[in-house]
Amino acid sequence: MVKRKIISALLLVVMVVSMVPFTAMADPFYNLWQRVDDGWVYWDANGHKASGWNKIGKTWYYFDPEDNLMLADQWLWEDNSKGQRVGYHFNSDGAMEKNKWIVWSETDSKNWMYLGADGATVIGWKRISKDWYWFDNELPEENLYYGVMARDRQVDNLYYVGSDGKMVTNKWVKVEDAPGYYTFWSYYDANGVMANKGWKKINKKWYWFASDGIAAIGTCKIMYSGTMKPFYFDEFNADLRTGWFHKTHNSETWYYAYPDTGVIACDTSVTYKGKVYKFDETGRCLNP
């Protein structure tokens, strides 16, 4: 009789236990990766599924807050402290990538970006290896995001980047073609800064640049010793002409600019090698 009661009691315990859900009985996972149907989830030290940003070991990962799935081989875009949209990229293993070049759109190989040490797409200036690059801090119409590497244009007001994105230094850059056969040029020095607002000596020759960085060509009146004086700059090379010169390569008219100042002799006489030459108000020599 006693044995029958013990068996009945054991059967009752078994029935109660079988009614308890498995999840209530199973111990939670801790610090564990779990493969699920749609990807990977991670159980943290508190036994919770990781959500949002999580650093696991030495690597950063991101888990979608809606389904806790790890992002892999895709972008995450967030606003930085300046309200700029920056991107983070995760490789096929889900690890956040950093310190590397990457194309943000597979449909346009020209849209290069660079992931910095913090994993975010770089905005503004960045030195990579030995070269400086500019990544847009504004949103050009053709770009959807900040941080696209600039090419073949002026950036940050005083600098220029070439077709490879590198900041140019010690280099003349063609700005545009002027009417006729002339070309406008700008010059960028050893620091990449555009020459502007005045005189600059480059390779032993003198040039004059306007506030927009365009090198003067032809006859220009420039302030000298408190007075506007005429100077002449070569139409092709933009360098200051001194001594005897023609204004155009196919002209037979002679002009003279004082070697020490570059000012064109106008409405005056100049003694040169024992001969007196006369010049009218435009600077043309009347007795060459």
Listed by start position, the domains of the chain span: 28-71, 73-168
Mean pLDDT, rounded, of the chain: 87
Question: pLDDT digit string (tens) for 226-250?
Answer: 999 999 999 889 999 999 999 876 6
Q: What local confidence, expressed as pLDDT, does residue 14 receive?
A: 41
What CA–CA distance (Å, rounded) separates 220 from 43? 74
| pLDDT exceeds cutoff 50 at 78 | yes
pLDDT over 60 (residue 27) = no
Supply the pTM of this predicted model: 0.78
Question: Topology of domain 28-71, per CATH?
Answer: left handed beta-beta-3-solenoid (2.10.270)
Q: Which pair of structure tokens corresponds to residue 62?
A: 């991101």
In DSSP terms, 272 is beta-bridged to 275
Q: What is d(CA 267, CA 230) in angstroms, rounded to the nearest whole number?
A: 12
| DSSP letter assigned to residue 25 | H
Give the Cα separation of 143 and 151 in Å (integer): 13
Task: Tell me the mean pLDDT in the region 6-17.
Answer: 44
pLDDT tens-place string over residues 148-206:
899 999 999 899 999 999 999 999 999 876 565 678 899 999 999 999 999 999 999 99
- Tell me the C-alpha distance between 160 and 183, whole Å: 18
Fold match, 28-71 / 73-168: yes
Query: Residue 154 forms beta bridges with which residues?
Result: 160
CATH fourth-level superfamily of 73-168 = Cholin Binding (2.10.270.10)
